[in-house]
């Protein structure tokens, strides 16, 4: 299967428009988003991000080991998704807008409580960049370093949703405690592994350890079945 690279991502017109008007520390979210995709996947110059350069999977193994089990996936699926990045998105080459992976904004009212949601299975991801931007304002410094933290946070959320696109789910009730069904699911393993593999792990560890129950509910990236 082809690796997920620059040519296979598409944002709806509305998503593109509103991302460009949403800012954090002087940087528009459209810029943050593309930097996130470059950081985790493959950029327009074929440079590999965390998933494909071998830095992500060692963290995946650590997260799985910490949970002590897998919920809804096996080791072979874990390797295929988070080591090889073998994502099966449909493509219709005769219709330019039907590309591999389609991003939209938070158009569904129920998505307002989440960072993102996805069709499971499917190829659409609804990205609530307003909520992620607001989370960054509260937990990341409003500096260049904070922007970089938002980049990796965004990449973690997107990879979480890609797991949903490929049919992997978790309980609706959010519980990040190691060993729970939610924490042991492939979407959450993907999210946490990106944070661990990023240059900002020490900050993320502090932030997410100290989240309130209300904020943790924001991690319940709703799967649309």
pTM of this prediction? 0.93
What pLDDT is recorded for position 225? Answer: 47
pLDDT digits (tens, 9 = 90+) for 80-133: 999 999 998 866 555 555 557 889 998 665 667 789 988 888 888 999 999 999
What pLDDT is recorded for position 113? Answer: 77
What pLDDT is recorded for position 98? Answer: 55
Kindly list the domain boundaries of the chain, sorted by start residue: 6-224
Which residues of the chain fall short of a pLDDT of 70? 1-2, 90-99, 107-111, 217-225
What pLDDT is recorded for position 99? Answer: 55
SS (HEC) of the chain = CCCCCHHHEEECHHHHHHHHCCEECCEEHHHHHHHHHHHHCECCCCCECCCCCCCCHHHHHHHHHHHCCCECCCHHHHHHHHCCCCCCCCCCCCCCCCCCEEEECCCCHHHHHCCEEEECCCCEEEECHHHHHHHHHHHCCCCHHHHHHHHHHHHHHHHHHHHHHCCCCCCCCCCCCCCCCCCCEHHHHHHHHHHHHCCCHHHHHHHHHCCCHHHHHHHCCCEEC
């Amino acid at each position: 299967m082809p690796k997920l690279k620059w040519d296979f991502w598409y944002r709806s017109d509305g998503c593109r428009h509103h991302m460009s008007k949403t800012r954090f520390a002087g940087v528009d979210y459209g810029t943050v988003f593309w930097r996130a995709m470059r950081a985790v996947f493959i950029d327009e110059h074929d440079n590999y991000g965390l998933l494909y350069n071998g830095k992500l999977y060692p963290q995946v193994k650590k997260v799985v080991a910490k949970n002590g089990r897998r919920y809804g996936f096996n080791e072979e699926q874990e390797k295929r998704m988070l080591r090889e990045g073998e994502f099966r998105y449909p493509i219709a080459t005769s219709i330019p807008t039907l590309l591999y992976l389609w991003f939209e904004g938070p158009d569904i009212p129920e998505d307002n409580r989440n960072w993102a949601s996805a069709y499971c299975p499917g190829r659409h991801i609804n990205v609530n960049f307003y909520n992620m931007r607001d989370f960054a304002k509260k937990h990341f410094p409003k500096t260049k370093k904070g922007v970089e933290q938002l980049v990796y946070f965004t990449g973690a959320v997107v990879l979480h949703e890609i797991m949903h696109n490929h049919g992997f789910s978790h309980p609706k009730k959010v519980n990040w405690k190691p060993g729970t069904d939610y924490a042991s699911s492939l979407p959450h393993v993907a999210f946490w592994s990106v944070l661990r593999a990023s240059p900002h792990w020490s900050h993320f560890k502090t932030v997410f350890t100290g989240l309130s129950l209300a904020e943790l509910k924001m991690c319940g990236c709703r799967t649309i079945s």
